[in-house]
């Protein structure tokens, strides 16, 4: 029987195999999702909200237990994993409290006796999710989708099947009917067939640019809507008039959260010339002081990357960039799945650490001659997920707010996702939006009603 393998990145000898669903079992789950939807869609917002609040309560009450599952499977420090679980509770509560308002009928004045817009669920939605935030990525989609009246089928990353199974158990324990949220323990080679299935009405994917291309192609072939949240190469811009203490304190979490394995992590540090001389040595000092070790230990700030393969990929990107002229100021060494926090200066366009998404703890530092030059460097990317700019000037802030080719611009703050605000990107970072009112309306039928 084919299996999906979970390997603990801190201790690779700890391996758990999860059996894949047979074709028959997969077909049963797909059919159950649709048959359950025919009843679930008629449940009230009050009923759904009650269940969603129970999910949130479970997440908060057992956050340590669930965090340990995350840390064992993908290696992030336990403190970060606990924060991830609690954020999932927040998004459940947010949609439980706001879904009815977001999806209430909208009256529109026309020459008709009555005209309005109503919002109805689509049906079973396939969610293809990544390993880097194995709880958050799932809940930020599932909470609005379920509150809208859809049912959900999760195809999670193969290496976090413990997380996938746990999430399904949480929804069932909270009282959701068995077919409302189901985990599909299958490999990526079976995704195309699932997308083609008549029961699947739409698809959402968080993942790489390559995965997005493959899923969008399959969805297009079958005329099914999809939302894509793909890679990012976010800029962290520091202008000469920035608050240096604030900027330095945020630079570390902006890059190092999740070991740098985040689509919205700051990856390119663009410093205006006057501030660069002071900023760089202070950044080196702060990064040097980070505690690296066992992610299960409370004091650990940097754990291993998700796998040896991932660490080798980051190592190769750094090596090629140094060969092309980048200056290695700190780190650059790999030990198994661990990769040292690394700072490179004199980075220019054409280097892997400038052009590519580096999914690891690497600071790519470059200088800009002016705010306009900094904006030009920020936009010189095939991605457009988000960026942050630090400045005391309203004019400079407005320059980036209006000029940055991104899905989000954060001024004097680090880029983050928030249930109250739409999340998504431009260019190769994908399309569609998650979270907020915009996110819940991605997977509903926006139906026009005209009565005379």
Is the pLDDT at 1 greater than 80, yes or no? Answer: no
Rounded to an integer, the average pLDDT of 307-312 is 98
Q: Exposed e or buried b for every residue in 357-371, given b needs 16+ CB within 10 A? A: bbbbbbbbbbbbeeb
Q: Which pLDDT band holds residue 445 (cuts at 50, 70, 90)?
A: very high
If one counts every other C-beta atom within 10 angstroms of the C-beta of residue 5, the result is 11
Reported as a single tens digit per residue, the pLDDT across 382-414 is: 999 999 999 999 999 999 999 999 999 999 999
- How does DSSP classify residue 275? H
Is the pLDDT at 203 greater than 90, yes or no? Answer: yes
Written out in words, the top-level CATH class of the domain with range 3-230+429-451 is alpha beta
- Which of the following is catalytic: 73, 84, 168, 229? 229
- Which of the following is catalytic: 80, 163, 263, 272? 263
Q: Exposed e or buried b for every residue in 53-77, given b needs 16+ CB within 10 A? A: bbbbebbeeebeebbbbbbbbbbbb
Distances (CA, A) of 360 to 142, 269, 290, 315: 27, 15, 15, 9
pLDDT of residue 80: 98
pLDDT of residue 293: 97
pLDDT of residue 98: 98
pLDDT of residue 153: 98
229 is catalytic: yes
Q: What is the CATH number of domain 234-419?
A: 3.40.309.10
pLDDT of residue 59: 98
Q: Which pLDDT band holds residue 275 (cuts at 50, 70, 90)?
A: very high
- How does DSSP classify residue 423? B
Cβ atoms 122, 150 nearer than 8 A = yes
Which residue's structure tokens are 């999430």? 167
Rounded to an integer, the average pLDDT of 297-302 is 96
Domain residue ranges in the chain: 3-230+429-451, 234-419
Provide the greatest CA pair distance for the chain. 72
Cα 318 off chain centre by: 24
Rounded to an integer, the average pLDDT of 21-32 is 98
Reported as a single tens digit per residue, the pLDDT across 75-103 is: 999 999 999 999 999 999 999 999 999 99
What is the pTM for the complete model shown? 0.97
Reported as a single tens digit per residue, the pLDDT across 50-70 is: 999 999 999 999 999 999 999
Separation between Cα atoms, residue 425 and residue 437, nearest integer Å = 16
pLDDT of residue 430: 98
Separation between Cα atoms, residue 305 and residue 154, nearest integer Å = 24
If one counts every other C-beta atom within 10 angstroms of the C-beta of residue 97, the result is 13
Long-range (24+ apart) CB contacts under 8 A made by 259-262 are 259/75, 259/76, 259/302, 259/303, 259/304, 259/305, 259/360, 259/361, 260/358, 260/359, 260/360, 260/361, 260/362, 261/76, 261/132, 261/305, 261/306, 261/310, 261/359, 261/360, 262/132, 262/133, 262/359
């Amino acid at each position: 029987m084919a299996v999906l393998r979970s390997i603990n990145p801190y201790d690779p000898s700890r391996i758990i195999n999860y059996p894949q669903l047979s074709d028959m079992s997969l077909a049963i789950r797909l059919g159950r999702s649709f048959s359950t939807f025919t009843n679930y869609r008629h449940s009230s917002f009050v009923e759904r909200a009650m269940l969603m609040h129970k999910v949130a309560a479970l997440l908060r009450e057992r956050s340590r237990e669930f965090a340990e599952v995350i840390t064992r499977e993908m290696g992030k420090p336990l403190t970060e994993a606990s924060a991830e679980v609690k954020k999932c509770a927040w998004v459940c509560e947010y949609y439980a409290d706001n879904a009815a308002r977001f999806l209430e009928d909208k009256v529109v004045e026309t020459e008709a006796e009555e005209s309005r817009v109503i919002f109805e669920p689509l049906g079973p939605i396939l969610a293809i999710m990544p390993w880097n935030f194995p709880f958050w990525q799932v809940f930020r989609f599932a909470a609005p989708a379920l509150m809208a009246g859809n049912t959900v089928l999760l195809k999670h990353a193969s290496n976090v099947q413990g997380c996938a199974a746990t999430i399904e158990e949480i929804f069932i324990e909270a009282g959701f009917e068995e077919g409302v949220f189901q985990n599909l323990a299958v490999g990526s080679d079976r995704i195309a067939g699932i997308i083609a299935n008549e029961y699947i009405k739409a698809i959402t994917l968080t993942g790489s640019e390559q995965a997005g291309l493959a899923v969008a192609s399959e969805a297009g072939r079958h005329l099914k809507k999809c939302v894509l949240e793909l890679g990012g190469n976010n800029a962290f811009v520091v202008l000469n008039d920035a608050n240096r203490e604030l900027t330095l304190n945020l630079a570390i979490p902006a890059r190092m959260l999740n070991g740098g394995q985040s689509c919205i992590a700051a990856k390119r540090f663009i410093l205006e010339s006057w501030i660069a001389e002071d900023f760089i040595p202070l950044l080196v000092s702060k990064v040097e002081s980070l505690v690296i070790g066992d992610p299960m230990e409370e004091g650990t700030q940097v754990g291993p990357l998700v796998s040896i393969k991932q660490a080798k990929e980051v190592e190769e990107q750094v090596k090629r960039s140094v060969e092309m002229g980048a200056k290695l100021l700190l780190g650059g060494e790999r030990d198994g799945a661990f990769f040292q926090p690394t700072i490179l200066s004199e980075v220019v366009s054409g280097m892997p650490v400038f052009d590519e998404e580096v999914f690891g703890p690497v600071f790519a530092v470059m200088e800009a001659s002016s705010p306009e030059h900094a904006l030009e460097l920020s936009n010189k990317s095939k991605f457009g997920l988000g960026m942050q700019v630090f400045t005391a000037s309203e004019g400079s802030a407005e320059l980036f707010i209006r000029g940055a080719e991104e899905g989000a611009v954060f001024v004097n703050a680090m880029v983050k996702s928030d249930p109250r605000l739409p999340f998504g990107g431009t260019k190769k970072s994908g399309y569609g939006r998650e979270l907020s009112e915009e996110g819940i309306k991605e997977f509903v039928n926006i139906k026009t009603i005209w009565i005379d």
